[in-house]
Structure formats: structure tokens, C-alpha cells
Amino acid sequence: MYKTILLKKEPEHKIAWLVLNRPDKMNAINSQLMDEMYRVLQEIEDDKEIWVLIVRGTGEKAFSAGADLTWFEGITPTHARDLASKGHTLFTQIEKLRQPVIAAINGYALGGGCEIALACDFRIAAERAKIGLTEVNLSLLPAGGGTQRLPRIIGIAKAKEAIMFGRRYTAKEALELGLVHKVVPDGSFEEEVRSFALKLASQSPIAVKLAKQCINQGTQVPLDVGLELEAQAFGTLFSTKDIFEGIAAFLQKRKPKYSGE
């Protein structure tokens, strides 16, 4: 049982929901939430029945308002550095998860909340959401990977403006920036996220996993190394049952039924 995270699995649909659950504190991230999230992610990684993970905040108001600011009162520089490293480990665990991860941004995603979303593969925002790396407004800086992931996602010039001005964007502005993939009406948010997740879960989980790895690793290395990764992944696919199911289904004009093997 977890206190600051709710985990709802729907194995019949191959999806799971990881819900940040500190509603009275706008789902702010504290030590307990980080520890519990780490354990939940490990559980999901090992669960062969789950092919897509959705991360959201409890309630309608916040995805997460970032690091719990009471944490920072009187901490030493060494402790602060350790905290940043712990955040890096956790958010990289999201990024490297076997399954694709959707950030369902149901409300405020500020500071560390935005950084969780940046580590996910997809970001879908409700119209009411407000998103940004606002740490500099408090004389902090994004230390959950934000200074590194945001420029990689939206480009250096736009990331500098977002971070140094501590800009808080509306969902529509975030879409224009390329910070989110999609904005959906508040009233149909859950339905739209679910439909996106189910479509993703109908793909071959092995092809999706390998494509995710190729993109994530390939963008950090020279092109020739990335191409070699891609060739290896392509070879690996031909040791699976699902590739033959995908091709057979196409030839037989039917929908594929993947097993994840």
C-alpha cells in the first residue's frame, strides 16, 4: 500500500494509472512521494500485463506543484545536491521505463511537476492546465532534469526564456511551444487520455519499447552510433513472435493480436 501514490491497474486494457496523491498540497513532491514513486515504477517495469503507463495528479486542480517547498528550509548545499541527484535518478527511471509513459496534465504542472512530465514520452494537457519551470522565481533552479530536458524538447532559445523568466504557460501556449503534444477540453480530459493510451496499448509493446530506446539513446550519441543501435533493435525484433503476427495480420486484412513475446 502506498500513501502518496495511487496505482490503478487495468490489465484487461494493458494500461495503468500512477496518480500523485497529496491533494491538500497540490500533489507537491516530498521524500515519501519520491520513494513510493520509485517503488511503483519498479513494480510497473516488472509487470508484463501493463504496456502503457499514465501519470496524473489526483483531483482536478494539480498534476503537481513541484517540490514541497517546506523541504528546502535550512538544508545544506550538500543535502541540496543529494536531493537533486535523487530526483535525477527517479525521473530518469520514468524516462527509461520499458513501457511508454503518458503525462496526463490535469492541472498545475509547475517546477518538479513539469519535470516529471518532461521525463514522460507524451504530454497531454487539459485546457485548464498551467505548465512551467517556475523555480527561478523563488531563486531556485530546475534541478530535476529541467535545465537539460526542456532545451532538448523545445530548443535552447525557448527553454532559456521559459526557465530564466520562470514562465507559467497556459495549455494552449504550451502546445504552441511544443511542450505538450495535445490539449483536450477539461470535460473530456480523462476520456481523451484513455483513448490515446488504449491506441498506444494496441501497438506491439516490443516494437514500441525498442523504438523508445532507439530514440532516447540515439539522440544522445553520434549518428553512426545511433544507426547501429537502430540496426541492432531491428534485428532483435525478428526474434519475437509479435513481428510475424503484425505482418500476418496485415496480409490477412485483420487487426493484429500482440502477445508481447
* Binding flag, residue 126, ligand COA (CB under 6 A): no
The whole-angstrom separation of Cα 259 and Cα 66 is: 38
Q: Which is nearer to ligand COA, 21 or 213 (CB)?
A: 21
Of residues 15, 103, 110, 206, which one binds ligand COA by CB under 6 A?
110
Side chain identity at residue 131, one-letter code: I
Size of the site for ligand COA (CB under 6 A): 17
Contact (Cβ atoms closer than 8 angstroms) between residue 88 and residue 145: yes
Of residues 69, 164, 227, 231, which one binds ligand COA by CB under 6 A?
69
Structural element, H or E, at residue 221? none
Report the nearest approach of ligand COA to the CB of residue 12 (Å): 35
Single out the residue of 49, 30, 52, 177 nearest to residue 118, CA to CA. 177
Report the nearest approach of ligand COA to the CB of residue 40 (Å): 21
Report the nearest approach of ligand COA to the CB of residue 168 (Å): 8
* Binding flag, residue 109, ligand COA (CB under 6 A): no
CA dihedral for 43, 45, 50, 52, sign (positive or negative): positive
Contact (Cβ atoms closer than 8 angstroms) between residue 168 and residue 132: yes
* Binding flag, residue 146, ligand COA (CB under 6 A): no
Contact (Cβ atoms closer than 8 angstroms) between residue 162 and residue 132: yes
Of 5-13, 106-114, 180-188, 233-241, the window that binds ligand COA (rule: CB under 6 A) is 106-114
